[in-house]
């Protein structure tokens, strides 16, 4: 009978149900902006619930298929994606998921608003948040290069709201010899052509969203003798179209699609560049510095993905706790179970607020409203947040899976997809230790200033929080931690000394 079936966990409108998100927006956004944004997010939340979530599941069930040859034996290298995946691209344009950040309709709040839409979209995107991350990163690189005329068409398309025009971008950095050590691992060579363009020759080992329209990639420019400068100073940044108007690949061969643990909805390919036509877009030898603008954006998207997957898992766990009975009462009435859920809830709330702080700072920086201190803080917080939330998301996804008992392990509940997809968050876009080194880079480059800014910012926040009776023990512990850091800094002479000590 009906009574024998367990009701499945589900969520409603993810915007309306997210009380922390709503209270954050209410506290921070100017009233006029809040009013417009609230209406749009409520509508978007309904669209996600009633239409987009279903497409997301379709993407999972119909992963991309690679056909190397046509029926007559011709090499075609076609990557077939499902209709739901292609629909995601249209929806991304219609919803302005990239455009919003570049139109700046709400000045410094536009970036935060875009991040909130991406956060809501992420767990229902069927993996499409991956191409969106790189698309945003590519638009940011072009913008930071001063929107050169030759890239106007690309920029307009990356930031378009018109599904017919909208492009997505790839980010081809990793080669077989190095994904972390890009500076020494990159073997791709760029040969200059008489018309000033370049042809690229090499092998890109991981290229996600391989169905994208364009890509940014690194290569070494060969001199007249065919020699290249090694190391970081030999790398330059290039723009290329992946296919021409007829869909023919730009002198690129697809070796195969990666057989991945997760993110299976999205094609990650191994590509041979066999004279791909490309345009040099950075100063020669400044490729890594130029692509860093992309990395910092895609790393923020990684944080969005991490927070979103934790939010989704925990929201489902909470709903399940109201529906599942064990030992004669609902799970929600078992204090031990609720303690487990509460611990996860604390994790996601902290991560969410860190994300909001980062996108708030990014919005200020992009509208020239950020102080020098705020810019330094942003530079520091991006790698910290990426490395921390990437690890957190994996741990929370595993814990949340257990909260559904055996059902959490069943493929057709959709829960294992969230776990699989969360596990990549600490690997791509820089592994945890590589990001730790990036934190040191930011310390060293600012001569320790970022640490001073960080400490004084935390100090101010703690002073504000100390007024709240309930938070006292946590505030006390944080105070002590800050105190001992400050003592250490005093003992070693200065922030600069600390930086040198850490770097050594
Ligand atoms: C849901 C989310 C979806 C996300 C989609 C993802 C799809 C998958 C995409 C990928 O995985 S793409 C590949 C990602 N790859 C990485 O993240 C590479 C990891 N390795 C690093 O990050 C290394 O630290 C790095 C390659 C950057 C080291 O390069 P170098 O050349 O050995 O470093 P160096 O010499 O310290 O830096 C060169 C310049 O870049 C310096 O500028 P200056 O020359 O002006 O001093 C650095 O300051 C600058 N730089 C490096 N990292 C920076 C940066 N600037 C700002 N921010 C940073 N993070
Ligand atoms: P390695 O660099 O060989 O690292 C191996 C281990 O050594 C890691 O644990 C690392 O932390 C550690 N390590 C390396 N150097 C140091 C050091 N100096 N100190 C301490 N530890 C160190 N790349 C792209 O360019 N574009 C893409 O679209 C893309 N898509 C991807 C999709 C998926 C699903 C995956 C899994 C990866 C993708 N990547 C992509 C590649 C990804 O960015 C790299 O795998 C990642 O940066 C690590 O590089 P690697 O695999 O060469 O590992």
**Is 41:15 a contact under the CB 8 Å cutoff?**
yes
Ligand 1 pocket test, candidate residues 119, 289, 351, 432, most atoms within 8 A of CB? 289
447 — pLDDT class (breaks 50, 70, 90)? confident
Q: Residue 456: what pLDDT?
A: 84
Does the Cβ of 186 fall within 6 Å of ligand 1?
no
And the tokens for 330? Answer: 């609902």
Express each pLDDT in 331-355 by its tens digit: 999 999 999 999 999 999 999 999 9
272 forms beta bridges with 203, 253
Kindly tell me the burial class for residue 259, based on how many C-beta atoms sit within 10 Å of its own C-beta (0-12, 13-18, 19 or more).
exposed
Assigned CATH for 169-286: 2.40.110.20
Does the Cβ of 428 fall within 6 Å of ligand 1?
yes
Q: How many A from CA of 434 to the centre of ligand 2?
A: 9
Ligand 1 pocket test, candidate residues 56, 144, 178, 182, most atoms within 8 A of CB? 182
How many C-alpha atoms does 227 have within 13 Å on its Cβ side? 2
Q: Rounded mean pLDDT of 64-69?
A: 98
55 — pLDDT class (breaks 50, 70, 90)? very high
Q: How many A from CA of 288 to the centre of ligand 1?
A: 6
Cα–Cα distance measured from residue 443 to residue 459, given in angstroms and rounded to the nearest whole number: 19
Vertex 91 angle, CA 204 and 163, to 5°: 75
Cα–Cα distance measured from residue 250 to residue 53, given in angstroms and rounded to the nearest whole number: 34
**Is 197:237 a contact under the CB 8 Å cutoff?**
no
**Is 412:405 a contact under the CB 8 Å cutoff?**
no
Q: Whose CA is nearest to atom 51 of ligand 2?
A: 179
Q: Residue 160: what pLDDT?
A: 98
220 forms beta bridges with 189, 235
Cα–Cα distance measured from residue 413 to residue 324, given in angstroms and rounded to the nearest whole number: 15
Cα–Cα distance measured from residue 85 to residue 80, given in angstroms and rounded to the nearest whole number: 10
Kindly tell me the burial class for residue 20, based on how many C-beta atoms sit within 10 Å of its own C-beta (0-12, 13-18, 19 or more).
middle
Express each pLDDT in 76-97 by its tens digit: 999 999 999 999 999 999 999 9
pTM: 0.95
Q: How many A from CA of 417 to the centre of ligand 2?
A: 22
480 — pLDDT class (breaks 50, 70, 90)? confident
Q: How many A from CA of 40 to the centre of ligand 1?
A: 35
Q: How many A from CA of 170 to the centre of ligand 1?
A: 16
Query: What is the C-alpha end-to-end distance of the chain, expressed in Å?
Result: 68
And the tokens for 210? Answer: 């391989």
**Is 175:186 a contact under the CB 8 Å cutoff?**
yes
Q: Which residues contact 310 (CB under 8 A, 6 or more apart)?
A: 344, 347, 348, 351, 389, 392, 393, 396, 397, 400, 422
Task: Tell me whether 0.90 is exceeded by the ipTM.
Answer: yes
502 — pLDDT class (breaks 50, 70, 90)? low
Of residues 154, 150, 130, 136, the one with CA closest to residue 207 = 130
Cα–Cα distance measured from residue 327 to residue 341, given in angstroms and rounded to the nearest whole number: 18
Please determine, for residue 417, whether its predicted confidence score (pLDDT) is greater than 70: yes
Of residues 431, 428, 452, the one with CA closest to residue 380 = 452
């Amino acid at each position: 009978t009906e009574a024998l079936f367990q009701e499945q966990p589900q969520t409603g409108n993810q915007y309306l149900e997210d009380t922390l998100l709503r209270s954050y927006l209410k506290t921070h956004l100017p009233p006029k902006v809040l009013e417009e944004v609230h209406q749009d997010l409520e509508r978007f939340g309904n669209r996600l619930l009633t239409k987009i979530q279903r497409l997301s599941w379709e993407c999972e069930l119909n992963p991309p298929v690679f056909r190397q040859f046509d029926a007559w034996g011709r090499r075609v290298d076609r990557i077939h994606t499902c209709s739901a995946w292609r629909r995601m691209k249209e929806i991304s344009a219609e919803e302005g998921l990239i455009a919003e950040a570049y139109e700046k309709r709400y000045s410094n709040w536009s970036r935060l608003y875009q991040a909130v839409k991406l956060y809501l979209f992420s767990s229902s995107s069927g993996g499409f948040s991956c191409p969106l991350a790189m698309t945003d990163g590519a638009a940011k690189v072009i913008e930071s290069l001063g929107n050169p005329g030759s890239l106007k068409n690309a920029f307009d398309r990356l930031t378009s709201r018109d599904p017919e025009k909208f492009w997505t971008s790839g980010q081809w950095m990793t080669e077989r010899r190095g994904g972390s050590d890009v500076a020494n691992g990159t073997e791709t060579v760029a040969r200059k052509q008489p018309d000033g363009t370049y042809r690229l020759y090499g092998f890109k080992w991981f290229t996600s969203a391989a169905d994208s329209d364009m890509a940014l990639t690194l290569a070494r420019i060969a001199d007249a003798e065919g020699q290249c400068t090694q190391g970081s100073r030999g790398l330059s940044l290039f723009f290329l179209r992946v296919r021409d108007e007829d869909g023919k690949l730009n002198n690129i061969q697809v070796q195969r699609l990666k057989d991945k643990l997760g993110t299976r909805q999205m094609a990650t390919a191994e590509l041979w560049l066999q004279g791909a036509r490309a345009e040099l877009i950075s100063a020669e030898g400044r490729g890594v510095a130029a692509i860093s603008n992309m990395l910092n954006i895609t790393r923020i998207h990684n944080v969005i993905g991490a927070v979103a997957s934790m939010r989704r898992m925990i929201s489902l766990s909470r709903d399940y706790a109201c529906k599942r009975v064990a030992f004669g009462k609902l799970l929600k009435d078992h204090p031990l179970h609720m303690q487990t859920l509460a611990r996860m809830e604390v994790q996601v709330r902290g991560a969410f607020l860190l994300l909001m702080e980062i996108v708030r700072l990014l919005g200020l920086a992009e509208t020239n409203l950020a102080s020098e201190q705020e810019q330094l803080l942003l530079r520091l917080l991006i790698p910290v947040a990426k490395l921390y939330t990437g690890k957190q998301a994996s741990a929370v996804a595993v814990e949340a899976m257990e909260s559904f008992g055996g059902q959490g392990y069943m493929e057709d509940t959709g829960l294992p997809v969230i776990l699989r997809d969360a596990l990549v968050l600490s690997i791509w876009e820089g592994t945890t230790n590589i990001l730790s080194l990036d934190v040191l880079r930011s310390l060293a480059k600012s001569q320790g200033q970022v640490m001073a800014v960080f400490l004084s910012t935390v100090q101010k926040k703690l002073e504000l929080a100390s007024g709240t009776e309930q938070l006292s023990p946590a505030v006390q512990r944080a105070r002590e931690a800050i105190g001992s850091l400050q003592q250490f800094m005093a003992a070693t002479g200065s922030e600069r000394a600390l930086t040198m000590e850490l770097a050594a």
